[in-house]
Amino acid sequence: MAKVTGIGGVFLRARNPERLTEWYRRHLGVPMSDGGAITFHPADAETVSFALFADNTDYFGEPGQRAMINLRVDDLPALLAQLRGQGVEVLPQTEDSEFGRFGWCVDPEGNRIELWQPAPGM
């Protein structure tokens, strides 16, 4: 039987793609092309998750947000402080779990973004 072997990409609709591309470059350091794309080439040891949530979850933020990006980061506390200093909306809570540390920010179009510093070995 044919099957899915991994996540091929994450795609967002944007009201202003050029502005959103620049925001992801400047605030999160995502080296996006002028066309608003990047292809990551993760190390073999990295993981990618695919999860389904109940329609009424508040985990994604606003009820109209149908998907959420989870971005792997190298230093969550430093990045959150940097984002706050740049005037980016950063949620006040963080979460520590066996999977690592999590924090959240919101892009200029209202998309909640999960920032994840993986636990060692993940």
- Report the C-alpha gap between 93 and 26 in whole angstroms: 23
CATH of the domain at 81: 3.10.180.10
Establish if 60 belongs to a structural domain. Answer: yes
The pLDDT of residue 28: 93
Establish if 39 belongs to a structural domain. Answer: no
The pLDDT of residue 63: 83
Structure tokens at 121: 């070995």
Domain count, the chain: 1
Query: What mean pLDDT is predicted for residues 14-36?
Result: 91
Per the model's pLDDT, the better-predicted residue between 69 and 46 turns out to be 69
Establish if 9 belongs to a structural domain. Answer: no
Establish if 55 belongs to a structural domain. Answer: yes
Task: Supply the range of the domain harboring residue 102.
Answer: 46-118
Other residues' Cβ atoms within 10 Å of the Cβ of residue 22: 15
Query: What mean pLDDT is predicted for residues 28-35?
Result: 90
Closest CA to 102 of 110, 86, 114, 113: 114
Establish if 24 belongs to a structural domain. Answer: no
Decide if pLDDT at 2 tops 70.
no
Residues in CB range of 59: below 8 A, 6 or more apart: 53, 68
Decide if pLDDT at 49 tops 70.
yes
Per the model's pLDDT, the better-predicted residue between 21 and 4 turns out to be 21
- Per-residue DSSP letter, 64: T
Decide if pLDDT at 22 tops 90.
yes
Q: Residue 66: pLDDT band by 50, 70, 90 thresholds? A: confident
Q: What is the mean pLDDT of the chain?
A: 87
DSSP secondary structure, 41-61, as one string: ---TT---------TT-STTS
Decide if pLDDT at 95 tops 90.
yes
pTM attached to this predicted model:
0.83
Establish if 102 belongs to a structural domain. Answer: yes
